[in-house]
């Protein structure tokens, strides 16, 4: 079913928004961890199609098990557990390639794509679990989601209305400098308001963070667009009607969540 980006954006928000709010604010932590784990599995499946052009069942199993191990490590050991599990997941991949050396002609290329998946997906996405485990983790995850979404929404509408100068047409032909400015302002304003409502953080510090997230999230969006464009793919998947796949929805969040985590721990909140 064809649906406009405008309608799709708000339909998905109306349908999934209340569920996400419940998971973030009231559900037991294991529910949140399970949602992140499931999102990661779906994102890995899409990443395989982008990076390898097809599913490689045995390697997908190795990647999936590595991702789930990183989830468990982040849940049980925080950032130290995350790093230890990431090391183990990479070793598991190394073992797979070693055992299948004669079957894979371009093995260095395959190793690089596999390693990028764990860096780009497993590492960045698992910061959601580590952020959630902080004292005010539920609020910080909500902050990350809302600021990223509203910054992206501001960039979309400002770019569509006033956009004239293209930002990086080789990677994303519709993004403009005006849209980037809209994302910067939208992220800053959203973060300032949320800080006043949720955290003992100065509104102007939050505004700087939000402005940066508006820009940095666009970098994350461009990074995923670069991966897709390099193999001639428009959307990473079709799970969200008219709005692409899981990777298309979390590309900016992947880049933003680690930044929010390090900001939160430096402020002690």
pLDDT tens digits, 97-146: 999 999 988 899 999 999 999 999 999 999 999 999 999 999 999 999 99
Calculate mean pLDDT across residues 159-184.
93
Range of the domain at 120: 5-267
Furthest CA-CA distance within the chain: 59
Query: Is 90 exceeded by the pLDDT of residue 184?
Result: yes
Confidence class of residue 243 from pLDDT cuts 50, 70 and 90? Answer: low
CA dist 151 and 44 (Å) reads: 25
**Contact (Cβ atoms closer than 8 angstroms) between residue 79 and residue 130:** yes
**What is the pTM for the complete model shown?**
0.91
Domain count, the chain: 1
- Structure confidence at residue 262 (pLDDT): 96
Residues 6+ apart with CB under 8 A from 181: 158
CA 212 to chain centre: 16
Residue 123 DSSP one-character state: I
CA 55 to chain centre: 21
Nearest alpha-carbon partner for 251 in 221, 228, 230, 208: 221
**Mean pLDDT across the chain:** 91
Residues 6+ apart with CB under 8 A from 95: none
CA dist 176 and 164 (Å) reads: 7
Structure tokens at 26: 């009231």
Residues 6+ apart with CB under 8 A from 139: 198, 199
Structure tokens at 62: 């190795």
- Structure confidence at residue 70 (pLDDT): 98
- Structure confidence at residue 27 (pLDDT): 92
């Amino acid at each position: 079913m064809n649906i406009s980006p405008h309608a799709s954006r708000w339909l998905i928000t109306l349908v999934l928004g209340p569920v996400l709010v419940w998971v973030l604010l009231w559900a037991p932590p294991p529910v949140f961890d399970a949602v992140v784990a499931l999102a990661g599995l779906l994102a890995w499946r899409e990443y395989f199609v982008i990076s390898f052009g097809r599913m490689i069942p045995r390697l997908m199993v190795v990647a999936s098990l590595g991702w789930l191990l990183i989830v468990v490590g982040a849940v049980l050991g925080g950032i130290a557990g995350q790093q230890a599990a990431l090391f183990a997941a990479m070793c598991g991949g190394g073992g797979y390639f070693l055992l299948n050396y004669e079957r894979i002609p371009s093995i260095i290329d395959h190793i690089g794509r596999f390693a990028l998946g764990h860096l780009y997906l497993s590492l960045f996405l698992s910061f959601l679990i580590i952020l959630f485990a902080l004292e005010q983790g539920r609020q910080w995850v909500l902050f990350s989601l809302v600021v990223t979404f509203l910054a992206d929404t501001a960039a979309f509408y400002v770019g569509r209305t006033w956009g004239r100068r293209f930002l990086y047409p080789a990677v994303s032909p519709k993004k403009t400098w005006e849209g980037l400015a809209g994302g910067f302002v939208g992220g800053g304003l959203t973060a300032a308001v949320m800080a006043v409502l949720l955290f003992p953080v100065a509104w102007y510090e939050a505004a700087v963070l939000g402005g940066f997230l508006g820009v940095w999230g666009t970098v994350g969006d461009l990074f995923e667009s670069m991966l897709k464009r390099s193999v001639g793919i428009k959307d990473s998947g079709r799970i969200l009607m008219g709005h692409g796949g899981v990777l298309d929805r979390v590309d900016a969040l992947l880049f933003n969540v680690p930044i929010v985590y390090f900001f939160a721990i430096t402020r002690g909140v």
